[in-house]
Structure 1
Amino acid sequence: MIDEIFDRNYQAGRADLNAGIGRAFHRLGSGIGKSFKVLHNIQWNAPWNGNSRNAQCG
């Protein structure tokens, strides 16, 4: 009886741990992907290709 309760709690704890690790890796991957997208835009998008409304004289 005690072993069954322990096993049930252990399995629930492992499931929570695995879900937390999965969420952490997903958030980390998303952050890295967004960072690379921003760096790509900075490196390869020419400023003169933007909207003419956003151009500033000065």
Structure 2
Amino acid sequence: MIVKIVTIFLIAMIVLAMFGRLRWPGHAHRSARKPARPPKCRACGAPRIGTGPCPCGEK
């Protein structure tokens, strides 16, 4: 009896995993969406925060 319950549970998990992998039309996949990166200083390559000058002295 316990083997039957475990088997049904595993089959249900497999079915849920297959539905989770479906890609609905018009929706981007999670790995395809990348967050925007902040602009970097041309001189030193440090990320720019705000609109002021970079701490390295470059404008």
TM-score by length of 1: 0.46
TM-score by length of 2: 0.45
Q: Structure with the greater relative contact order (CA < 8 A, sep ≥ 6): 1 or 2?
A: 2
